[in-house]
Structure 1
Amino acid sequence: MRHPNDNGFAERRLAAAEAKRQLLAKFASAPKATDPETQERLAARQAVAVARESRRAERKALKLAEAAMAVAAAEAKERKEAEDREAEIADRASRVLADEAARKAERDRRYAARKARQA
């Protein structure tokens, strides 16, 4: 059984050739790279791309600066904590020495009092 819309080989071949001609005509009428409007659009795109890259570079520089500031702040905090620990250790050592000196003085006082009682 034949379909009424069934195209034969020759008709399909003519349709394909016509589609190819239309496609070629479309590309032939497209603006060329030497066209002033095309040059203008291309220049505008390049300007936008340059501006985008400069903004990207600025953001990157800002992020690097922020990271450097964060590192410097962390180092300063670590130095302060180390100084605080050293000060605490020095304070603790001085208190230990003072306590030992006080105990020795008390011991010497008791020893002197005992010797005084014996004599």
Structure 2
Amino acid sequence: MKHARNNELSDRRSAAAEAKAALLNAYRTAKDTAEPTRLAKQAERQAIAAAREERRAAREQAKLEELERARSAEAERQAAAEVAERAEIEAREAADKDRIARVIADEAARKAARDLRYANRKARKS
């Protein structure tokens, strides 16, 4: 099927310009009609982003609190371990001192018994 009208360059250029203007007008119209929904969507996105940021901050805060609790628990555990170790060392030292005292007392008792035997022997000889 042939076109009845003669398509000259100027006709094609004007048709292209009219099509471009029509597309531009359609875009502007669509943009103007979509403006309220765009603003609503943008506000919704901002609210979602703010809520996301708030949740992230809450998670960070909870993480920091948990870390602080863990540090304090570790410090308490370490302090308890040091106290237990100190008590064990003191008990060991007390046991060592008691053993030394018993050894000294036994040695003194043996010496006293030996001296008594020596004195009895001397008394019998004289």
Give the TM-score taking structure 2 as reference length. Answer: 0.70
Shift of 1:62: 0.6
Between the two proteins, the alignment pairs up a number of residues equal to 103
2:66 alignment counterpart: 66
Q: Distance in 1 between matches of 2:64 and 2:45?
A: 28
Q: Which has the larger radius of gyration?
A: 2
Q: Deviations over 1:18-59 (max 9, x none)?
A: 8xx387566534525x93222211111111111111000111
Aligned-pair identity (%): 33
Distance in 2 of aligned mates of 1:26 and 1:101 = 108
* 1:51 equivalenced with 2:60 (yes/no): no
Establish whether residue 80 from structure 1 lines up as the match of residue 80 from structure 2: yes
Counterpart of 1:102 in structure 2 is 102
Higher helix share: 2
- Partners of 2:111 and 2:27 in 1: CA distance: 116
What amino acid is the match of 1:115? D
Aligned AA (1:52)? R
Opposite residue 97 of structure 1, the aligned amino acid is K
5+ long unaligned stretches in structure 1: 1-9
**What is the alpha-carbon distance in structure 2 between the residues aligned to residue 30 and residue 66 of structure 1?**
52
Kindly provide the CA deviation profile for residues 44-100 of structure 1, in whole angstroms up to 9, marking residues without a partner as x.
111111111100011111111111111111111111111111111000000000000
Provide the residue aligned with 1:118 in structure 2.
118
Gaps of 5+ in 2: 1-8, 120-126
Distance 1:37 1:107, change over 3 A: same
Aligned residue for 1:6? none
Structural RMSD (CA): 2.5
Q: Which amino acid aligns with 1:78?
A: Q
TM-score normalised to structure 1 length: 0.74
Q: Cα distance, 1:108 vs. partner? A: 0.4
